[in-house]
Amino acid sequence: MAPDKYKNPPQAPPTFTGTKESIVNDAQALCDTTRSLLDNLVANVPSEKASFASVLAPIAEDEDQSQLSSRILGFYQYVSANEDLRNASTEAEKIMDEFSIESNMREDVFKLVDAAFQTQKSKEPNLDPESLRLLEKERKGYIRNGLGLPQGPKRDRFKEIKMRLSQIAIQFQKNLNEENEGLWFTKEELDGVTDDVIDSLEKGTGENEGKVKLNFKYPVLFPTLKFAKNPEVRKKVFIANENKINQNGPLFKETILLRDEGARLLGYPNHAAFRIEDKMAKDPAVVNSFLADLRTRLAPGGVKEISHLLELKEKDEKSRGLKPDGNYYLWDHRFYDRMMVEQEYNIDEVKIAEYFPLQSTVQGMLHIFEELFGLVFVELDAGERKRLSPTGKAEDIAWHEDVILFSVWDDSSEGDGFVGYLYLDLHPRQGKYGHAANFNLRPGFLEKDGTRKYPATALVCNFSQPTEKKPSLLKHDEVVTLFHELGHGIHDLTGRTKYSRFHGTSTVRDFVEAPSQMLENWCWTPSQLKALSNHYQTGEKIPDELIEKQISTEHVNDALFNLRQLHFGIFDMAVHSPATHEELEKLDASALYNDLRTQIAGIKGPEALGEPSTWGNGQATFGHLIGGYDAGYYGYLSSKVYSTDMFYTVFKNDPMNGKEGRRYRHTVLERGGSQDEMTTLEQFLGRKPSSDAFYKDLGLTALTSTA
pLDDT at 561 over 50: yes
Angle of CA points 409, 415, 420, to nearest 5°: 25
- Rounded to whole angstroms, the Cα distance separating 644 from 647 reads 5
The letter for the amino acid at 82 is: N
Phi, psi of 659 (to 5 degrees): -65, -45
For residue 703, name the pLDDT band (cuts at 50, 70, 90). very low
Of 485, 513, 670, 677, catalytic: 485
Per-residue pLDDT tens for 517-556? 999 999 999 999 999 999 999 999 999 999 999 999 999 9
Any idea what DSSP says for residue 357? B
Assess contact for 332 and 234: CB atoms under 8 A.
yes
Per-residue pLDDT tens for 570-628? 999 999 999 999 999 999 999 999 999 999 999 999 999 999 999 999 999 999 999 99
The CATH number given to 20-148 is: 1.20.1050.40
pLDDT at 629 over 90: yes
For residue 4, name the pLDDT band (cuts at 50, 70, 90). confident
Chain center to CA of 257 = 24
- Which burial class, exposed, middle or buried, applies to 113 when counting CB atoms under 10 A from its CB (0-12, 13-18, 19+)? buried
Chain center to CA of 557 = 23
- Rounded to whole angstroms, the Cα distance separating 457 from 404 reads 12
Rg (CA), the chain: 26
- Which burial class, exposed, middle or buried, applies to 86 when counting CB atoms under 10 A from its CB (0-12, 13-18, 19+)? buried
Q: At a CB cut-off of 8 Å and minimum separation 6, what does 201 contact?
A: 212, 213, 214, 215, 220
- Which burial class, exposed, middle or buried, applies to 243 when counting CB atoms under 10 A from its CB (0-12, 13-18, 19+)? middle
Rounded alpha-carbon distances, angstroms, from residue 311 to 85, 202, 308, 316, 334: 52, 36, 5, 9, 15
pLDDT at 2 over 70: no
pLDDT at 124 over 70: no
Rounded alpha-carbon distances, angstroms, from residue 352 to 4, 79, 235: 38, 30, 27
Per-residue pLDDT tens for 187-200? 999 999 999 899 99
Any idea what DSSP says for residue 207? G
- Rounded to whole angstroms, the Cα distance separating 515 from 520 reads 9
Q: Which of 53, 39, 51 is nearest to 102 (CA)?
A: 39
Least confident range from 1-15, 163-177, 381-395: namely 1-15
Please count the other Cβ atoms lying within 10 Å of the Cβ belonging to residue 307: 11
Hey, CA dihedral for 271, 276, 278, 283, is it positive or negative?
negative
Any idea what DSSP says for residue 381? -
- Rounded to whole angstroms, the Cα distance separating 220 from 530 reads 27
Alpha helical stretches, state H, 438-495: 476-494
Q: Where are the beta strands (DSSP E) in 452-549?
A: 452-453, 456-460
- Rounded to whole angstroms, the Cα distance separating 385 from 219 reads 30
Per-residue pLDDT tens for 294-306? 999 999 999 999 9
- Rounded to whole angstroms, the Cα distance separating 322 from 99 reads 60
Q: Does the active-site annotation cover 93?
A: no
Per-residue pLDDT tens for 434-448? 999 999 999 999 999
Q: Is the pTM of this model over 0.85?
A: yes
Per-residue pLDDT tens for 209-241? 999 999 999 999 999 999 999 999 999 999 999
Angle of CA points 29, 33, 34, to nearest 5°: 120
In the chain, list all ranges with CATH 1.20.1050.40. 20-148
- Rounded to whole angstroms, the Cα distance separating 469 from 472 reads 10
Q: How far apart are the first and last CA of the chain?
A: 47
Q: Which of 551, 486, 542, 492 is nearest to 519 (CA)?
A: 486
SS3 for 614-663, per residue? Answer: CCCCHHHHCHHHCCCCCCCCCHHHHHHHHHHHHHHHHHCCCCCCHHHHHH
Chain center to CA of 363 = 22
* Sheet architecture: strand order including 211-215: 182-186, 211-215, 202-203
Q: Which of 221, 220, 202 is nearest to 210 (CA)?
A: 202
In the chain, list all ranges with CATH 1.10.1370.10. 248-345+557-633
Assess contact for 426 and 471: CB atoms under 8 A.
no
- Which burial class, exposed, middle or buried, applies to 416 when counting CB atoms under 10 A from its CB (0-12, 13-18, 19+)? exposed
CATH homologous superfamily for 248-345+557-633? Neurolysin, domain 3 (1.10.1370.10)
- Rounded to whole angstroms, the Cα distance separating 383 from 330 reads 50
The letter for the amino acid at 229 is: K
Secondary-structure breakdown of the chain: helix, strand, coil percentages, each rounded to the nearest 5:
60, 5, 35
- Rounded to whole angstroms, the Cα distance separating 296 from 274 reads 27
Please count the other Cβ atoms lying within 10 Å of the Cβ belonging to residue 69: 18
Any idea what DSSP says for residue 502? G
Per-residue pLDDT tens for 651-664? 999 999 999 999 99
pLDDT at 704 over 80: no
- Rounded to whole angstroms, the Cα distance separating 193 from 233 reads 11
